[in-house]
Amino acid sequence: MNDKFYLGSHVGMNAKGKYLIGSAQEAIDNGANTLMFFTGAPQNTIRTETNKLNIKEFKELLKNNNIDITKTLCHGPYTINLANTVKKETYELGVRLLKEELLRLEAIGVHLVVLHPGAAVGAERKVALDSVAKGLNEVYDQLPNCPVKIALETMSGKGTEVCITFEEIKYVLNQVKRKEMVGVCFDTCHMHDAGYDIKNNFDNVVDDFDKLIGLDKLLAIHLNDSKNIINGHKDRHENIGYGYIGFKSLSNIVHNPLFKEIPIILETPWINGVTSPYKKEIEMLKENKFVNNFGMDIITD
């Protein structure tokens, strides 16, 4: 692969695929040089012990295929909602799960996890944002030597989600005590759905982020097209080149020298729910040329 960028996708991690061995092999088969995985089912708290995940073999497979483990990442479970101040037990569960996730990733050797900041579920936004920062501080207070960083994901504004603007993310980051451990993950679909013009003015969006937060805080990018018009607040991912952002704008992100050290991860839908699109999407993006591999309608406006 072109060594000017790190490009991969979300991959599976389960017993059938020999856990992390399957994750690495899926990335390799897709022509990727980075990957993102869940350490267990994202919607529950059940986790396989790390000593069963084939960590040694995972690391060897990555090394033998020139995949830098320092550019790989994990996605935190959706069950974590640090923004929830309405239900104390939900917040406390989130802190516990996030702490456990960081310890699991430390054992695996992957030192970055992307986290959905959560939803206010009835509370004032400022209260919810304060709660996110409080949760992050609690976790790192309990794990002062943990090397795993957290990247807060930019959200679309669906429901009562928080961190849908750079200002909200900055508000949280300003309260984080271990500032070197917490950064940001751009999600292009979410940002588009939140109202940021990824399609026509991404340079200006990046400029605004740099001035407000700093590009040094950008730790990962989720590269997704969107099924919705800008500012739709829907969060419905589309395959690369078939949505309202379009291939050219998304490919330009991959090839932008600003992001050459940032892992870029595809989270696009499987075709008809059964066929992975990632090998073909990675190939298109590497070649910087759109091909209608999936025979779907292309949005032209």
Counting residues of the chain whose pLDDT is more than 70, the rounded percentage is: 99
Average pLDDT, rounded, for the chain: 96
143-187: pLDDT as tens digits? 999 999 999 999 999 999 999 999 999 999 999 999 999 999 999
Kindly state the average pLDDT of the residues 189-217: 98
pLDDT confidence bin for 91, thresholds 50/70/90: very high
Q: Write down the pLDDT at residue 41.
A: 83
8 Å CB contact between 176 and 133: yes
118-135: pLDDT as tens digits? 999 999 999 999 999 999
Q: Write down the pLDDT at residue 42.
A: 82
Which residue ranges make up each domain of the chain? 6-287
Closest Cα to residue 268, out of 224, 226, 221? 224
Kindly state the average pLDDT of the residues 2-27: 93
pTM, rounded to two decimals: 0.97
pLDDT confidence bin for 301, thresholds 50/70/90: low
Does residue 10 have a known ligand-binding role?
no
Fill in the DSSP letter of residue 269.
Answer: P
Does residue 111 have a known ligand-binding role?
no
Q: Write down the pLDDT at residue 1.
A: 43
Does residue 75 have a known ligand-binding role?
yes
Check pLDDT > 50 for residue 2. no
Q: CA-based Rg of the chain, rounded to a whole angstrom?
A: 18
| b/e burial code for range 10-33 (CB count within 10 A of at least 16 → b) | bbebeeebbbbbbbbbbbbebbbb
28-84: pLDDT as tens digits? 999 999 999 999 888 888 899 999 999 999 999 999 999 999 999 999 999 999 999
Does residue 238 have a known ligand-binding role?
no
Check pLDDT > 90 for residue 232. yes
pLDDT confidence bin for 3, thresholds 50/70/90: low
Q: Write down the pLDDT at residue 156.
A: 97
H helices of the chain, where? 20-29, 55-64, 88-108, 125-142, 166-175, 188-194, 198-212, 247-254, 278-287
Does residue 216 have a known ligand-binding role?
no
Query: CATH assignment of 6-287?
Result: 3.20.20.150
As given in the structure block, the two tokens for residue 105 are 């990733």
Tokens 């291939």 sit on residue: 247
Q: Write down the pLDDT at residue 146.
A: 98
DSSP 37-49: E-SS-TTS-----
Counting residues of the chain whose pLDDT is more than 90, the rounded percentage is: 95
